[in-house]
Structure formats: structure tokens, C-alpha cells
């Protein structure tokens, strides 16, 4: 009836003493049962080997390793590769472990019972501790402590387990060496193809950039300032040429007007002695004479007067010609101009000079205007040309950077491939070969016995708790007080001779129940202990 009140440590100890047999009996029998059950399972033997992974011999600062993936991932990949049926079948046939028709079954067993677990061996840990003490580096996938791994295989036959474990360990080491060489060679070939493609792309970019420079020479972004300076200079030259042209035209016009004036004056003064004038006058008189003869006779006064005028003009013409013949010894060039005065000849020379200046200034003006148009066109097209040039330059720079990066990676990969071919990279060595197991790994009888012990104790405790809480007996005055909810005035000691019929002792030599057999009911207890 202890559930009606709060229990103390004494109550729990009393319960333990009362139910000790109930707890001990299952606890003693269950280990025996567990040990017996262990003999029902067929024994299995596990053979294990240890592989040490040695870091590459060349420092990472000189040659970067080609394979930089996580070690655990690489080990799992290797284990999956060697567990393929195409790799396992030659191993089974070389060991002659089973018959041909049982190879598939053995392959399945190997795939299920083989395990590869990465570990950090004591040798590699101590070696890496010395290196870490000499020089500290940032942690990375290639600078982790040099690891190792265990290869385990479980089989019903101990000898077969040892053989298969050794064979699989050697297969993993060989597969690692082969895969590293293939990866290194494949990486180098891939980068070589990429370098060739990048080189072709870079050549195309260089050709496009060169063609663009030839097409827009003088309009490139670097020529903008020079174009502005040239445009300003040409505008200044054009202004000066325009002013020169204007002055030359004005001077020519003024000189021409003076020449015309002086020529007219000179001609008017020299018209009477001019051979040309005399010849013209002679021709006119002769024509007039012919007309008069057609109308009149030779005795007509007009005809006689005209004949006299013709004779006078012929006389003057002979005198002028005689004067001209006397001057025939002079230079021919002076003949043409000797008749004009020096002032007129000077004016004609000035007009000729002004005309040369005007022609040259006109040509210079056209040339400068043409050049100004070219530079204005270049200046106007500069923004568009600059945008295209930036795009081409950026693509060219990216192509060059990409090519240089690939070239550096190719060189690094070639060094890594050479290192792998010379076996100077990361290497796997069998540290501990698979041994012949002397005891089965399953079933572990001590574990079965311990499990039986734990199960027996748990079962005994459960049974004891069930019996204790299902027991309704009143054992102490506290139980009586709790169930009757009345105060206890006095307790009478038990005086009977048969202590086996007594119910319980309160710890002070007093018995709480009277009679034999079952304890008294609550009503009887109430009548006795009032």
C-alpha cells in the first residue's frame, strides 16, 4: 500500500530486499541464454589490412598536385571502382576460390562484406606533427595530415577472408596508381586542347584589333587629343590663309585699276606713233578710197584728199618702221615691252605676283578646308570608334589573360604528370597486410552474454516493480496511517512465538499485525491500535 504515501529511502531498500530474488534469478539465467543463442549463428571471420598514404615527395610550392579532391571521397571512389564485377572477376579467377558457376555469388558477397574506412595512422600523424612544428601552413585539402585506410573483409572461411582482403588491398593500390596517372595525363591533354583553342581565339582577336586600327587610324581614343590640337592649328592656318587671300585680292584689284589708268594715258599719248594705230588708220583710208573711187572719179577732191592722207600715213609708218629696225639689235624680250614705260611694266609684275599669291592661297585654303573636314569627321566619330575599340580591347585583354592562365595551368599539369609518371606524387603503401583471423568476428559471445545480462536485469527489475505495486499489504504504521487517515496513538509489540506468522517489523522490535496467516484487515488494525 506504499502508493498511498511518499516513499523514503528505507522503503526503497525494503522493496529491494524483498524482491532481490526476483531480480537475481533472471539476471543469472539470461547471460546463459544469450551465450547459448550465440552458438546458433554461423561464425564469420574478418581479415583487415592497413594502407599508408604517403604524401608527394616534391613540395607543393614547386609542383601542385593534379588530384586535389577530398581523401575520403577518393577512397570511396576507389572502393566502388574495384568492387565492380569486371574488376572482381579476374581476381576471383586468379585466386581459384570457387567454381565458375559460383563466381557471381562470391562477387555479391565481396560487394556486401568488404569495407574501406579512412584512418589517421600513428606513423603518419607523428610525421605530420614534426612538419607542422617546423612550418605552419593554411589548412587545405592537400595539406591535411597524411592519412591511411583500413580494408576489411568478412567471410565464413578465415583463409578465404585473408586472401580476398590481400587481393582487394593490392587492387585498390594499383587502381589508385592507374587512376592518378590517367587523371594527370587526361588533365594535361585537356589543357593542351584548351590552350590551342585559346591561342586561335587570341589570334583572331589580335587580327580584328589590327584591322580596326588600320581602318580607323587617327580616330582611336589615344588620338582624340592630337586631333583636337591639329583641328585648332588647321583652323588658325585657314584663318591666316583667308586673310592673306583677301589682302592679295584687294591689292590685285587696286593694282589692276592703276594699270588700266596708266595704260590708257600712255596709249592716248602714243597712239599717233604707234605702228598698229598707223596700220589701222592706213587700212581705213584705203577702204575709204575704194569706196570713193566707186562713186567718184580720180579728180574728185575727196579722192585726192584721201590719196594725200594715205601718202602721209605711209610716210609716218615708214619712219616708225625705220626706228624699230634701228632697235632690232636689242633683246627680243625687251621688244615686246620696250614700248611700255617702266611704271606700267612694274604694275604688271605686281599684278602677276598678286595672282600667284591668290592662286597659292586658294590652293592652301582648299587643302586646309579638306584637312579640317577630315579631322572634324574624326572628332565626330570618336565616341562610336572609342566604344568599338574598348569592346575589342576588352575582348583582346580577356583572351590574353585566359590564354596566359591556361598556359600556366598547362605547365603546372605537365609538371604534375611528369611527377606522377616518375612516382614522385602521392603513393599508397601496404603498411600491414591482411592476417589470418584466429577468432571469429561474429558472433561475439561476450557481447551476447553481456546483452543477456542486461536483458535479464531489466526483466527482473520490471517484474519486481510490477509485484511491488500490485501488493496491497500493510507493512508499517505509516502504511496504516496512510490508508486509515487516522493518527497512530500506540503500537503493541508482538508476543507470539511463531515469528513466521508476523507481518513485519517496524525496525524498533514492534509487530504491527496479530494472528497467523494473512495480515489483519484495516478494521481489525483499527480496533487493536486505538
Tell me what pLDDT residue 512 has: 44
Higher-pLDDT residue of 391 and 332 is: 391
pLDDT tens digits along 487-521: 666 666 656 554 444 444 444 444 444 333 444 44
Locate 349 and state its grid cell. Answer: 609684275
Sheet holding 114-119, edge to edge: 114-119, 148-155, 45-54, 427-432
β-sheet bridge partners, residue 119: 148
SS3 46: strand
Return mean pLDDT, the chain.
Answer: 76
H-type helices in 20-157, by residue range? 20-38, 71-82, 85-95, 103-113, 122-134
Q: Is the pLDDT of residue 10 over 70?
A: yes
pLDDT 10s digits, 133-149:
444 444 443 444 557 88
**Residues 410, 399: Cα–Cα separation, whole Å:** 16
Q: Judge contact between 358 and 249, C-beta under 8 A.
A: yes
At 197-255, the pLDDT tens digits run 988 988 988 888 888 878 777 667 677 778 788 888 888 888 998 998 889 889 888 88
Average pLDDT value for residue range 53-64: 77
Q: What is the pLDDT of residue 268?
A: 64
This model's pTM is above 0.95: no
Q: Note whether 95 and 466 are within 8 A (CB).
A: no
SS3 percent helix, strand, coil of the chain, rounded to 5, is: 70, 5, 25
Residue 333 cell numbers, joined: 624680250
Average the pLDDT over each of 156-170, 246-260, 312-326, 488-502 and give the range with the smallest value.
488-502
Helices 158-215 and 342-421 meet at what angle, rounded to 10?
A: 180
Among 345, 136, 363, which residue's Cα sits nearest to residue 259?
A: 345
Backbone phi, then psi, for 431, in 5-degree steps? -80, -45
Give me the pLDDT at residue 339, please: 56
What's the Cα-to-Cα distance from 364 to each of 296, 352, 378, rounded to whole Å?
68, 18, 21
Q: Are 522 and 477 in contact (CB under 8 A)?
A: no
Give one word for 491, left, alpha or beta, with left for phi > 0 and alpha for psi -120 to 50. beta
- Tell me the longest C-alpha to C-alpha distance in the chain: 225
Cα separations (Å) of 293 from 39, 104, 296, 307?
178, 155, 5, 11
DSSP 510: -
> What structural domains does the chain harbor?
1-41+445-472 (no CATH), 45-195+423-432 (3.30.1890), 223-393 (1.10.287), 474-530 (no CATH)
Alpha-carbon gap, residue 44 to 161, rounded angstroms? 9
Let me know: does 505 contact 476? Beta carbons within 8 Å.
Answer: no
Q: Is 494 helix (H, G, I), strand (E, B) or coil?
A: coil
pLDDT of residue 22: 82
Coil, strand or helix at 476: coil
Give 31: exposed, middle or buried? Use CB within 10 Å, 0-12, 13-18, 19+.
Answer: buried
Looking at residue 10, the DSSP 8-state letter turns out to be H
Beta-strand runs (E) in 390-448: 427-432
Lowest mean pLDDT among 262-271, 298-307, 344-353: 262-271
Torsion of CA 98, 100, 102, 105, to 10 degrees: 100
Nearest-angstrom CA–CA distance, 303 and 284: 14
The DSSP secondary-structure symbol of 189 reads H
Cis omega (within 30 of 0) for bond into 443? yes
- Return the percentage of the chain with pLDDT > 70, whole number: 75
Return contacts of 505-514, CB within 8 angstroms, 24+ apart.
506/476, 506/477, 507/10, 512/474, 512/475, 512/476, 512/477, 512/480, 513/474
The yes-or-no verdict on residue 483 having pLDDT over 80 is: no
Give me the pLDDT at residue 71, please.
73
Is 26 within 8 Å of 456 (Cβ atoms)? yes
End-to-end, the C-alpha distance of the chain in Å comes to 20
d(CA 134, CA 141): 20
- The percentage of residues in the chain with a pLDDT greater than 90, rounded to a whole number, is 1
CA 513 to chain centre: 93
Phi-psi region of 349 (alpha: psi -120 to 50; beta: other; left: phi over 0): alpha
Confidence of residue 363 (pLDDT cuts 50, 70, 90): very high
User: Could you count the other beta carbons within 10 Å of the beta carbon of residue 486?
Assistant: 11
Amino acid at each position: 500500500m506504499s502508493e498511498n504515501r511518499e516513499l523514503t529511502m528505507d522503503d526503497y531498500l525494503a522493496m529491494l530486499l524483498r524482491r532481490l530474488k526476483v531480480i537475481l534469478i533472471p539476471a543469472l539465467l539470461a547471460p546463459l541464454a544469450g551465450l547459448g543463442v550465440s552458438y546458433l549463428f554461423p561464425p564469420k571471420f574478418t581479415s583487415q589490412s592497413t594502407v599508408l598514404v604517403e604524401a608527394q615527395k616534391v613540395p607543393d610550392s614547386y609542383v601542385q598536385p593534379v588530384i586535389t579532391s577530398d581523401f575520403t571521397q577518393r577512397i570511396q571512389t576507389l572502393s566502388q571502382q574495384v568492387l565492380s564485377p569486371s574488376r572482381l572477376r579476374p581476381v576471383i579467377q586468379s585466386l581459384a576460390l570457387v567454381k565458375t558457376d559460383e563466381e557471381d555469388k562470391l562477387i555479391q558477397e565481396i560487394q556486401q562484406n568488404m569495407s574501406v574506412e579512412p584512418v589517421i595512422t600513428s606513423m603518419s600523424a607523428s610525421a605530420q606533427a614534426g612538419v607542422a612544428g617546423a612550418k605552419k601552413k593554411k589548412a587545405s585539402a592537400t595539406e591535411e595530415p597524411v592519412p591511411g585506410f583500413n580494408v576489411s573483409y568478412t567471410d565464413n572461411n578465415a583463409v578465404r577472408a585473408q586472401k580476398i582482403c590481400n587481393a582487394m588491398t593490392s587492387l585498390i593500390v594499383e587502381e589508385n596508381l592507374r587512376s592518378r596517372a590517367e587523371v594527370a595525363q587526361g588533365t594535361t591533354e585537356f589543357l593542351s586542347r584548351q590552350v590551342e583553342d585559346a591561342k586561335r581565339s587570341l589570334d583572331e582577336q589580335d587580327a580584328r584589333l589590327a584591322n580596326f586600327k588600320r581602318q580607323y587610324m587617327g580616330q582611336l581614343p589615344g588620338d582624340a587629343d592630337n586631333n583636337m590640337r591639329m583641328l585648332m592649328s588647321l583652323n588658325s592656318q585657314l584663318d591666316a590663309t583667308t586673310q592673306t587671300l583677301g589682302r592679295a585680292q584687294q591689292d590685285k584689284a587696286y593694282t589692276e585699276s592703276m594699270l588700266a589708268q596708266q595704260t590708257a594715258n600712255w596709249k592716248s599719248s602714243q597712239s599717233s606713233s604707234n605702228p598698229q594705230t598707223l596700220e589701222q588708220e592706213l587700212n581705213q583710208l584705203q577702204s575709204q578710197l575704194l569706196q570713193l573711187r566707186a562713186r567718184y572719179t580720180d579728180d574728185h577732191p575727196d579722192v585726192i584728199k584721201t590719196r594725200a592722207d594715205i601718202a602721209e600715213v605711209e610716210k609716218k609708218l615708214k619712219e616708225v618702221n625705220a626706228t624699230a629696225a634701228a632697235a632690232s639689235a636689242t633683246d627680243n624680250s625687251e621688244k615686246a615691252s620696250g614700248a611700255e614705260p617702266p611704271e606700267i611694266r612694274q604694275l604688271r609684275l605686281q599684278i602677276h605676283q598678286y595672282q600667284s599669291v591668290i592662286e597659292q592661297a586658294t590652293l592652301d585654303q582648299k587643302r586646309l578646308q579638306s584637312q579640317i573636314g577630315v579631322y572634324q569627321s574624326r572628332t565626330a566619330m570618336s565616341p562610336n570608334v572609342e566604344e568599338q575599340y574598348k569592346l575589342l580591347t576588352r575582348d583582346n585583354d580577356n583572351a590574353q589573360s585566359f590564354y596566359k592562365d591556361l598556359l600556366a595551368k598547362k605547365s603546372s599539369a605537365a609538371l604534375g604528370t611528369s611527377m606522377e609518371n616518375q612516382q614522385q606524387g602521392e603513393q599508397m603503401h601496404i603498411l600491414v597486410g591482411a592476417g589470418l583471423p584466429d577468432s571469429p568476428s561474429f558472433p561475439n559471445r561476450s557481447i551476447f552474454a553481456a546483452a543477456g545480462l542486461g536483458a535479464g536485469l531489466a526483466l527482473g527489475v520490471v517484474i519486481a516493480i510490477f509485484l511491488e505495486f500490485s501488493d496491497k499489504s500493510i507493512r508499517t504504521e505509516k502504511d496504516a496511517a496512510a490508508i486509515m487517515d487516522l493518527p497512530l496513538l500506540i503500537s503493541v509489540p508482538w508476543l507470539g512465538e511463531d515469528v513466521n506468522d508476523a507481518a513485519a517489523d517496524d525496525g524498533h522490535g514492534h509487530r504491527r499485525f496479530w494472528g497467523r496467516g494473512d495480515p489483519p484487515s484495516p478494521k481489525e488494525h483499527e480496533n487493536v491500535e486505538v
